[in-house]
Amino acid sequence: MDITDKYAVYGNPIKHSKSPQIHKLFAEQTGEHMVYRSHQVELGKFADAAQSFFDNGGKGLNITLPFKLDAYEFAGQLSDRARLAGAVNTLALQGDGKIYGDNTDGAGMVRDMQHNLGWQIEGKRILLLGAGGAVRGVIEPIAKQNPSLIVVANRTVGKAQKLAHDFAEYGDIRGCSYEALHGNQFDIIINGTSASLAGELPPLETNLLSDEACCYDMMYGAEPTPFMRWSAENMAWAVADGLGMLVEQAAESFCIWRGVRPKTREVIDAMRAQLEG
Question: Is there a contact between 109 and 274 (Cβ–Cβ < 8 Å)?
Answer: no
229 is in an annotated binding site: no
134 is in an annotated binding site: yes
Q: What's the mean pLDDT in 5-30?
A: 96
Give pLDDT tens digits for 212-227: 999 999 999 889 999 9
Give pLDDT tens digits for 129-172: 999 989 999 999 999 999 999 999 999 999 999 999 999 999 99
Q: What's the mean pLDDT in 76-87?
A: 95
- C-alpha–C-alpha distance, residues 63 and 2, integer Å: 24
pLDDT in the model for residue 276 = 85
Amino acid at 200: E
Helices (H), the chain: 19-30, 46-55, 68-74, 80-85, 105-111, 133-143, 157-166, 226-233, 243-258, 265-276
Give pLDDT tens digits for 54-80: 999 999 999 998 999 999 999 999 999
152 is in an annotated binding site: no
pLDDT in the model for residue 1 = 37
Q: What's the mean pLDDT in 2-6?
A: 79
Helix pair angle (133-143, 157-166), 10° resolution = 40
pLDDT in the model for residue 194 = 86
**Has 68 been annotated as catalytic?**
yes
Q: What's the mean pLDDT in 36-61?
A: 98
Give pLDDT tens digits for 89-134: 999 999 999 999 999 999 999 999 999 999 999 999 999 999 998 9
130 is in an annotated binding site: yes
When pLDDT is cut at 50, 70 and 90, the band that residue 2 belongs to is low
Q: What's the mean pLDDT in 221-250?
A: 96
pLDDT in the model for residue 253 = 98
- C-alpha–C-alpha distance, residues 115 and 52, integer Å: 38
Question: Is there a contact between 219 and 197 (Cβ–Cβ < 8 Å)?
Answer: yes
Sheet-wide strand order for 77-78:
34-40, 5-11, 58-63, 90-93, 99-102, 77-78
178 is in an annotated binding site: no
DSSP 169-197: GGSSEEEE-SGGGTT--EEEEEE-SSGGG
How open is the CA angle 63-66-71, to the nearest 5 degrees? 45
Amino acid at 59: K
Pick from 47, 43, 34, 45: which is nearest to 8 by CA? 34
Q: In residues, how long is the chain? A: 277
220 is in an annotated binding site: yes
b/e per residue, 51-70, with b = 16+ CB within 10 A? eebbeeebbbbbbbeebbeb
51 is in an annotated binding site: no
Name the catalytic one among 6, 68, 98, 263. 68
218 is in an annotated binding site: yes
154 is in an annotated binding site: yes
Name 224's bridge partners. none
b/e per residue, 200-226, with b = 16+ CB within 10 A? ebbebeeebbbeebbbbbbbbeeebbb
